[in-house]
Amino acid sequence: MNDSNRNSPDQENRIHTNFEKEMSYGDYLQLQAILSSQTRVSNHHDEMLFIIIHQVSELWMKLILHELQAAMDSIRQNDLEPAFKMLSRVSRIQQQLIQSWDVLSTLTPAEYVQFRDKLGHSSGFQSYQNRLIEFAMGAKNADVLSVYKHKPELSQKLKQALNEPSIYDLAIQAMAKRGLAIDQPSLQRDWSENYQPQKSVEAAWLEVYRDVNQYWDLYELAEKLVDIASNHQQWRFNHMNTVERIIGHKPGTGGSSGVPYLKRVLDQRFFPELWSLRTQL
């Protein structure tokens, strides 16, 4: 069929227009609910930008959690290859989150101050999905659960995630299953504790990197983890930089010190042995 036939008026007449009894695009995506959820607490024009940036970020975080959990299930079952696609997708999503700070940075200090007081104590610090992502990546901190005590169901969800192994713990277990020497404390530790570097784990990863052909799947998993760790740090840096650009060194609306707190968080690195081994190779 040539192009003229493919784009003929007869073809366009087949477009479906009757959705009284069928699901439409808007129905499938529940657009009415989504697009009616931007409720400003002020009359300032730029508050719409502020709301949408954060709502879209939460949707991306929801997808990150969806992919991370599936990747963790795959690793848990000692089937590593499916996890590579999922973790690659997480990396691409993280790029969207990183770039979102560029859009938010178009909000100037003079504009933000017009509605900031209307936000009360609500803050991105309270994003439970961001906490779940950090827990899944091994950054555990039981103290943050106090922020969610007013929501028992949510508090329980976070507590459960706190007490489960992270994706890095599962990667370490996968190395042990392959016969690499991992000390028992690394395999049977308190999962609610923030991960601390272990010499046996570094030695095992070094063996993987020194014999890529034998341990190709573990090597590929390690590099995927480095990708998401690096992107998360980039997201944190852009967050800090955007906050400093808009509010300077004012305290955060949630009560944190603001930029100084965000700078301290930058020093927290995921999957430490995957970084230290680079010096040892």
Using N-to-C axis directions, what is the helix angle for 81-104 and 216-247, rounded to 10°? 10
pLDDT, one tens digit for every residue, the chain (281 residues): 455 555 666 666 788 888 888 999 999 999 999 999 999 999 999 999 999 999 999 999 999 999 999 999 999 999 999 999 999 999 999 999 999 999 999 999 999 999 999 999 999 889 999 999 999 999 999 999 999 999 999 999 999 999 999 999 999 999 999 999 999 999 999 999 999 999 999 999 999 999 999 999 999 999 999 999 999 999 999 999 999 999 999 988 888 888 988 888 888 889 999 999 999 99
246 assigned ligand-binding residue:
no
150 is in an annotated binding site: no
Helix ranges (H only) for 105-258 are 109-112, 128-136, 152-162, 167-177, 184-187, 199-210, 216-247
pLDDT at 242 (0 to 100): 94
Q: Residue 52, annotated ligand binder?
A: yes
Q: Is 133 annotated as a binding residue?
A: no
CA 171 vs CA 14, 118, 158, 200, 204: distances in Å = 52, 44, 21, 14, 11
Check whether 172 is labelled as a binding-site residue.
no
112 appears as a binding residue in the annotation: yes
Is 116 annotated in some ligand binding site?
yes
In whole angstroms, give the CA distance from residue 280 to residue 273. 10
Closest CA to 252 of 85, 136, 112, 156: 112
In 3D, which of 262, 260, 251 has the Cα closest to residue 116?
251
Pair 219, 274: CB distance under 8 Å: no
Confidence (pTM): 0.92
